[in-house]
Each structure stands twice: as structure tokens, then as C-alpha cells.
Amino acid sequence: MSYRTNRHSCYDLEYHLVVVTKYRHPVINGAFKDRLTELTYRIFEENFQCYVNEVNTDKDHIHILFEAPPQVALSSLVCSYKTVTARLLRKEFAEYLAPFYWKPYLWSRSYFVCTVSERNHELITEYIRNQRNKEKG
């Protein structure tokens, strides 16, 4: 077991986050998926000093397994993530998203987040890695 440290704490906080597209539209594909993944790493690691362990998507949602320092407020992180990715992706992929979203939305208002322990870490990692394969299997 390894711990991360900062000035005032020693911690091991890992979370599994799932964010779903508005109306569960299947828009996460190709270049859109690649850009979303790139933005995910940038926002989590640069803006919130989190460490992303695993990211994968299905057509209508994204799974993110990440470690965060105790100072990070999860609700603020999720709100910022959804706001920034929606703004940037709707700007960059306006034509692609036009048939799906007539209002300025991308993400559903809800999300799922849970803590990850040593006992379930491997199970959750494998689940995230196999997101695109579940229909084929």
C-alpha cells in the first residue's frame, strides 16, 4: 500500500466517477472520445492536482478512476469538469452535436461517484477497461 503526501497530510483517496450524457445520447465516439479523454487528464491533473489512474468511455458515459488530495471538494471537481468539457466540446464539435442537442447541454445533471478500496480496486479497474467490450463479449 502506498500513500501520497502533501504539506499537511498523508492520504490514499481513490474515487470512481461516472458522468452520463444528457438524454443518454450516444455521442462519445472517434475524435470526440479522444478529445474528451485528453481534456479529462488535463482538468483532473492540472486544475485539481489529481492523478488519473484509468479512463474509458462507452457511447453515452465516461468512467474515471482517480486519486485526489483531501483538499479537493468532489462536487466542485465534478461541476468544473462537466462545465469545462461541455463548453469546449460543444464549441469544437458543434456540427457533430447539433442533431443531438438543441440546447447548450452535454452532460446529465446527475453523476455517480464512490470511493475505491484496496479490495475492489482491481475489479473496478477491469470494469472500466472493458467498457467498450461489453457488447462484444
Flag whether 5 is in a domain: no
Number of domains the chain is built from: 1
The predicted structure's pLDDT at residue 137? 47
Closest-CA residue to 79 (of 46, 41, 111)? 111
Q: What is the mean pLDDT of each run of 10 residues along the chain (137 residues)?
A: 85 97 97 98 97 97 97 97 98 95 93 94 94 66
Asked if residue 89 lies in contact with residue 28, where contact means CB atoms within 8 angstroms, the answer is: no
Asked if residue 92 lies in contact with residue 35, where contact means CB atoms within 8 angstroms, the answer is: yes
Flag whether 135 is in a domain: no
The predicted structure's pLDDT at residue 134? 65
Cell of 91: 464549441
| Domain of residue 113, residue span | 11-130
Cell of 50: 489529481
What CATH number is attached to the domain comprising 34? 3.30.70.1290
Flag whether 1 is in a domain: no
Tell me the C-alpha distance between 64 and 113, whole Å. Answer: 9
Tell me the C-alpha distance between 135 and 137, whole Å. Answer: 6
Which strands form 51-57's sheet, in the order they lie side by side?
51-57, 61-67, 14-21, 107-115
The predicted structure's pLDDT at residue 64? 98
